[in-house]
Chain A
């Protein structure tokens, strides 16, 4: 890709330009950062512009902005992404500016790569055990003690000895390490899943859940409320959890995770290091380095403790009165010593999705702890495609040239129409004038990006570089290489799910919309306007808000849907563990947001049907049903058909609902083609080329569909026009 060069004109006066600092903090952490930045300005006279970015857009924003020279001078991120940042060339080395002795050694080690240091460690994040001191006077030292306490503290219903987000591998890792597992093969460095410790750690957690010691499918919100209500005696979480505790009601302490009695090994959590990175494209590199360093030491580190409740990586901070007297920081400092720095390798980033699959499979009961490792292993192999061999672009270029030549020859040799061009198309010039503005806009901002997207599909992207691989991406997808066609990862499986998804949704939209339109048809119906306004409300709600709303409604413990079921005496359903219920939840959401459109279309069409037709039918003695079938439906068809076609395309590409509501659970089985393409691009090692090929196939499928519908519309126009 071409990197555009853009250099804004430097200000003529000597006052330095403000430094840009990007972060994804909220609440106290954000406030601490703001105050530190103000301190920096006071001391140096350099302004700092802070930008809080939504967390889920942060990484992609950095990747696009910094190479174009429009990004921040300094940004704050976890160290896990360091290697990919380095590959993309968006971090600068800090060895010339940093004083290594300022920081805890394991925090600094996390920022080392290729023998150099890349950033300033700010704070440590690792897991520890929070205990409610009124319920647990003494924190457990071993898992044996722990299990005894859990038996006492759980009642099998709504009280739990322990709560944590058990479906997240980050929280399971301590169990794995406690049982003596290693995530990576010591010889090859490759991730390994099918091991004894893995099976034992999974069985242990499954045992906790089966005995109702821990809630199943716990989310962060549930863990928090259980602990604050005194319904969970212990919680596994990180320093960020301290800010969530309602200290008016709960007295708590933080302890290291216990030792696994079976192996005698401590449950070691991952250690994450938050760091301030400097952009290599900063216009003021020295000032940027100074700011990043400033944020990691001295007063900034203390503010971080005081306001943000973060665990500083700065050694000197621990010497101060303030930090010494802080039990939270002291206990986390202690637990961090056992923590295992999370590798910043590519291999680490490949572990998450397979492990999530295995972990959820076991906890939700579909997979035994012994089989889970194999399952993860298979998913790992499928996700990490080997790099296809380089292909020569010449046959492609030659093919393209041939195609163009062929087209020209065809155009020239085509038999001349009898009428002149002027006669056949009398309005060409006028049409051009009317069309030009729209065409220009569409060309630049729709067609060009689309063409680039299509072009990417013949490349392979790895480590910041594109290599030409020809049709390899397509071949891999179509031949379903690496997995059976009945597995959720396969294109055909996802295509089938997508077709089903579109069909079910559109039929529901049309039937519900039509039924309501028929009820609302009568202009003299009382409160008609009120009903109509209320019924189009879902259309007015932004669809990402709708999706989040319904995600909350289908929540296992807090969701309104389960609460309703409970009120009716039906067992609560865990919606996202089975394909059918997860799919149903998606469909419910999408039906809710989509039926008003069809209702409005049908209502408009109904009103345009002349009333005398019904009167004539009445005279002829036709029943209501016959009238509906013979008059209403045929006359609705021309209006409904285009709406259906458009609705199908929208549903087909309805990314938000799938991505937010079910998130593809279980195991990617409810993903549709677009959400799968998105995952290949942004969640599975940035396989942009592969994702582009995927998108091209989606595009072809829809193109086929549109060719098919063109026939349908033409047929309907011929009959009814």
Chain B
């Protein structure tokens, strides 16, 4: 293989230089993240001025010394904020954090599924069929991404109210699924364009219906793009804050970002809890990234985001 050859012939200093460059970039990239980890595991609520992004072990030791009765004093000190964040309950005693985590998971998953089904069919039509207004449709999809979203809040609220979907997770799911649609359609349409039509023509020759061709031939081929699009939708829903905060009126139906935002109060910021909450919100998404990162490259290939 030629790639092997080129690696073998590459001088050692170049390999080292590449690794050095990558290591430095990784360090710069991870620095802010480590900083949040530090906030989360420091027993104190406040920030401290230090360039060192690693947790302050002395502070943890000091905290551990102050609470000798605990079985694992260091660990319980370091995880204090996590415990505080995850064990919140309502005044009735229901486990609020668990409920909110479930809300976030359900809303993100369902809106991803709905969004994907809608986007896949629409993108396929835009990629394969000839019909009037196609160009206009594609352009206006892009255009909807351009209107500043915060200003749609007032009218969105009124519409959901009219549909009796206010303060329900269903309403939130529908809003998330549709607001991420334009982007998903764009991405998938680009990917479908790169799949050769010959395959479908062959299937049609064999007597498959249009729908069968789509489901049996095109969709399996588009798997990487589907994975990436699903990831985007999921992220979009998982991370959204302002719509959820406005449209939901019940603590038990809040999603995690809204709960997290409450640690930034009017007068004070609970930095420790914020750090712990931020990690809890980010970790599932990162896990998903891990799982899908192979597809991430494939799904965004040459035609992946082509218009």
Residue B70 CB within 8 A of the other chain? no
Cβ–Cβ < 8 Å partners of B298 in chain A: 604
* A5-32 Cβ-contact flags toward B at 8 Å (1 or 0): 0100000000000001000101000000
Cβ–Cβ < 8 Å partners of B175 in chain A: 445
Residue A441 CB within 8 A of the other chain? yes
* B233-253 Cβ-contact flags toward A at 8 Å (1 or 0): 001001101100110011100
Cβ–Cβ < 8 Å partners of A695 in chain B: 147-148, 151
Choice from B150, B174, B258, B301 contacting A607 with Cβ under 8 Å: B301
Question: Contact between B49 and A446 (Cβ–Cβ < 8 Å)?
Answer: no
Cβ–Cβ < 8 Å partners of A60 in chain B: 153, 246
Cβ–Cβ < 8 Å partners of B31 in chain A: 560
Cβ–Cβ < 8 Å partners of A560 in chain B: 31-32, 35, 50-51, 53
18 of the cross-chain contacts (CB-CB < 8 Å) are A53-B262, A55-B262, A68-B158, A221-B271, A244-B268, A421-B132, A431-B130, A438-B121, A448-B159, A449-B152, A450-B147, A548-B278, A549-B32, A564-B51, A611-B2, A615-B2, A649-B145, A699-B147
Question: Contact between B238 and A542 (Cβ–Cβ < 8 Å)?
Answer: yes
Question: Contact between A221 and B246 (Cβ–Cβ < 8 Å)?
Answer: no
Helix, strand, loop or mixed for chain B's interface?
helix
Segment of B57-65, B75-83, B195-203, B284-292 in the binding face: B284-292
* A152-184 Cβ-contact flags toward B at 8 Å (1 or 0): 000000000000000000000000000000000
Residue A520 CB within 8 A of the other chain? yes
A713 to B307, CA, bound (A): 8
Residue B107 CB within 8 A of the other chain? no
Residue B266 CB within 8 A of the other chain? yes
Residue A408 CB within 8 A of the other chain? no
Question: Contact between B268 and A220 (Cβ–Cβ < 8 Å)?
Answer: yes
| B contacts with A, residue count (CB < 8 A) | 125
Asked, given contacts A64-B246, A445-B178, A639-B301, whether A698 binds B148 with beta carbons under 8 Å apart, the answer is yes
Asked, given contacts A534-B30, A563-B50, whether A607 binds B297 with beta carbons under 8 Å apart, the answer is yes
Helix, strand, loop or mixed for chain A's interface?
helix
Question: Contact between A536 and B121 (Cβ–Cβ < 8 Å)?
Answer: no
Residue B129 CB within 8 A of the other chain? yes
Choice from A548, A601, A643, A678 contacting B274 with Cβ under 8 Å: A548
Residue B142 CB within 8 A of the other chain? yes
Residue A605 CB within 8 A of the other chain? yes
Q: Which of B132, B149, B282 has the most CB of A within 10 A?
A: B149
Instruction: Tell me the smallest distance from the CB of A434 to a CB of chain B, in Å.
Output: 4
Question: Contact between A677 and B151 (Cβ–Cβ < 8 Å)?
Answer: yes
Question: Contact between B159 and A444 (Cβ–Cβ < 8 Å)?
Answer: yes
Residue A102 CB within 8 A of the other chain? no
Residue B169 CB within 8 A of the other chain? no
Question: Contact between B29 and A703 (Cβ–Cβ < 8 Å)?
Answer: no
Cβ–Cβ < 8 Å partners of B207 in chain A: none
Query: Which A residue's beta carbon lies closest to that of B124?
Result: A434
Choice from A441, A533, A541, A642 contacting B282 with Cβ under 8 Å: A541
* B14-25 Cβ-contact flags toward A at 8 Å (1 or 0): 010011011001
Instruction: Tell me the smallest distance from the CB of B122 to a CB of chain A, in Å.
Output: 4
* A440-482 Cβ-contact flags toward B at 8 Å (1 or 0): 0110111111101100000000000000000000000000000
Question: Contact between A52 and B251 (Cβ–Cβ < 8 Å)?
Answer: yes
Question: Contact between B129 and A34 (Cβ–Cβ < 8 Å)?
Answer: no
Residue A522 CB within 8 A of the other chain? yes
Query: Which A residue's beta carbon lies closest to that of B175?
Result: A445
Instruction: Tell me the smallest distance from the CB of B195 to a CB of chain A, in Å.
Output: 14
Choice from A70, A553, A603, A653 contacting B35 with Cβ under 8 Å: A553
Segment of A111-119, A322-330, A523-531 in the binding face: A523-531
Segment of A80-88, A186-194, A284-292, A422-430 in the binding face: A422-430
Cβ–Cβ < 8 Å partners of A539 in chain B: 289
Cβ–Cβ < 8 Å partners of B72 in chain A: none
Residue A702 CB within 8 A of the other chain? yes
* B115-153 Cβ-contact flags toward A at 8 Å (1 or 0): 001110110111011111000010101111111111111
Choice from A224, A437, A531, A538 contacting B121 with Cβ under 8 Å: A437
Question: Contact between A56 and B159 (Cβ–Cβ < 8 Å)?
Answer: no
Cβ–Cβ < 8 Å partners of A221 in chain B: 46-47, 268-269, 271
A677 to B183, CA, bound (A): 23
Residue A544 CB within 8 A of the other chain? yes
A171 to B2, CA, bound (A): 69
A50 to B182, CA, bound (A): 37
* A679-721 Cβ-contact flags toward B at 8 Å (1 or 0): 0010000001001100100110011001000100100000000
Residue B162 CB within 8 A of the other chain? yes
Cβ–Cβ < 8 Å partners of B6 in chain A: 522
